Structure 1
Amino acid sequence: MSTRKKILIVGATSGIAEAVARQYAAEGCTFALVARAQDKLEVVASDLSARGATGMFSYVWDAAEPKQFPDVVERAWRDLGEVDVALIAHGTLPEQARAAVDLDYAIEQFRTNGESAIVCMLALAPRFEAQGRGTLAVIGSVAGDRGRPSNFLYGAAKSSVEAFASGMRGRLFKRGVNLLLIKPGFVATPMTAGLDLPKKLTATPERVARTIVDAVSARKAVIYVPWFWQIIMTIIKVIPTFIFKKLGL
């Protein structure tokens, strides 16, 4: 992979995004970082600079304000000139039990994990099309493969992202742009810190980041990370509905 790429990361303070950025920083890349907390952005930017990044821009944006995102995109392209890779990595992990009884909370969480990611893709796509090259990468989830009682609000949001990305992929392909959908399973990040995750099925952000960087280089369309989640979810998807609803997974 060539060095000194220009990387735009939305949700740059998330565990996976920060690990991906560190991979690129070691190659001397230039960054445009987007997140909602200025203080956290400054910490990440300082860390990446120490690891070899050759340029740094940062912008504060809250996913709860999707209409403001096109302005962020305009600033990023003005500052960077062009973008080789854009990674959409922001999100939350909703409490399913609360979402079942708190409608405002449910709507907010769906918008953060579904609508705002779609808005990001819509705003970024024309810029990449004008370039005629580059990679637009978005983090989905294995949860989007099939709704389960434990997290179906989150799964529904990620499913919407996947469906949208699938359609946009065909549009961008005709302009020389790749769209990569990343579908992580369990990952040990601050977002999942309070969960009792099975160790054998849980990956580190660093492992996920290496897979993402390699997938961008290979211009892949969809990846499960780690790879074995594709097998797990294939099995889950083919379980007949009359059995699946009794399992309560």
Structure 2
Amino acid sequence: MSVLVVGARSDMGLAVAHRFAAAGYDVQLAARNAAQLNADAADIAIRHNVQATTHELDVLAPDSFEGFIESLPALPQVAICAVGLLGDQAVSEQDLSAASLVMRSNFEGPALITGLLADRFVARGSGTLVGISSVAGDRGRASNYVYGSAKAGYTAFLSGLRNRLAKKNVHVLTVLPGFVKTRMTEGMDLPPRLTTTPERVADTIFKAASQKRDIIYVKPIWRLVMGVIRALPERVFKGTQL
């Protein structure tokens, strides 16, 4: 068995790789500047006694996706997309290039590579696809609507893909972590009750994938929080400045 982790240089991506490797999965680590993952691959291989390989992939270069998949040692049983770019909302509001990078990194690239892998899994007749999206996609908020809108797009894409593949023996899991202590959120004042760790995200993904879950909030309290936020009438919500 093998698992492909796209966005493997991220804290969540590496944590997921270790969790699946601990269960005996060979690991394919994919990211830009993949050579920087060589030491991580060696550590995973030694620590968990599995095969670990690194693969160059830029999710902003869709023309390379076909060749990337063909270059893998084997088509994995599980593919996990952990790509994400938070960006800066204030900058994105003024800089079209910055906004485009956030949108493409969180929606276009992840959706296209996930969809292409889905086609390969359907042709084989089995597989599990895991997309790490965000609670920020549950409703557009003033504080991060560029990032949130991109994640909303990815969440909707995963939902449609899951619906399309429901009878194809290909499982699609949407993961909504909430706040996570990573390099991307370093320096941010995160509320402890709503914050988790990459290791907990990884463990939750492994269990949910095994159980064929559809949508998971890593910390269940986020389901309640976002349920309340989604339920607010627009005339009330627009005055909150969340």
| Superposition TM-score tier, normalisation by shorter sequence | over 0.9
Mapped partners of 2:127, 2:170: distance in 1: 5
Cα deviation for residue 214 of structure 1 reads 0.3
Cα deviation for residue 174 of structure 1 reads 1.6
Q: Counterpart of 2:48 in 1: which secondary structure?
A: coil
Q: Counterpart of 2:30 in 1: which secondary structure?
A: strand
Mapped partners of 2:59, 2:126: distance in 1: 26
C-alpha contact 1:27 1:53 (8 A) present in aligned 2: no
Matches within 5 A, 1:181-220: 181-220=174-213
- 2:58 is aligned to 62
Opposite residue 157 of structure 1, the aligned amino acid is A
Mapped partners of 1:192, 1:39: distance in 2: 24
Matches within 5 A, 1:1-249: 5-76=1-72, 79-80=73-74, 82-249=75-242
Cα deviation for residue 24 of structure 1 reads 1.3
Question: Tell me, which stretches of 5 or more residues in structure 2 are unaligned?
Answer: none
Mapped partners of 1:29, 1:138: distance in 2: 18
Mapped partners of 1:74, 1:199: distance in 2: 43
Opposite residue 33 of structure 2, the aligned amino acid is A
Task: Label 1:93 to 1:224 Cα distance change in 2 as closer, same or farther (>3 A).
Answer: same
Cα deviation for residue 127 of structure 1 reads 0.8
* RMSD (Å), alpha carbons: 1.2
Mapped partners of 1:155, 1:110: distance in 2: 9
Cα deviation for residue 137 of structure 1 reads 0.5
Mapped partners of 1:40, 1:226: distance in 2: 31
C-alpha contact 1:183 1:224 (8 A) present in aligned 2: yes
Question: Tell me, which stretches of 5 or more residues in structure 1 are unaligned?
Answer: none
Cα deviation for residue 96 of structure 1 reads 0.3
C-alpha contact 2:34 2:57 (8 A) present in aligned 1: no
Query: Taking every aligned residue pair, what percent have the same amino acid on both sides?
Result: 42
Opposite residue 160 of structure 2, the aligned amino acid is G
With structure 1 as the length reference, what TM-score do the two structures score? Answer: 0.94
C-alpha contact 1:13 1:44 (8 A) present in aligned 2: no
Q: Counterpart of 2:168 in 1: which secondary structure?
A: coil
Cα deviation for residue 198 of structure 1 reads 1.1
Q: List structure 1 runs of 4+ shifted beyond 3 angstroms.
A: none
Q: Counterpart of 2:149 in 1: which secondary structure?
A: helix
C-alpha contact 1:84 1:135 (8 A) present in aligned 2: yes
Mapped partners of 1:62, 1:233: distance in 2: 32
Describe the superposition over 1:173-193 as per-residue Cα deviations: whole angstroms up to 9, x where unpaired.
221010001011000011111
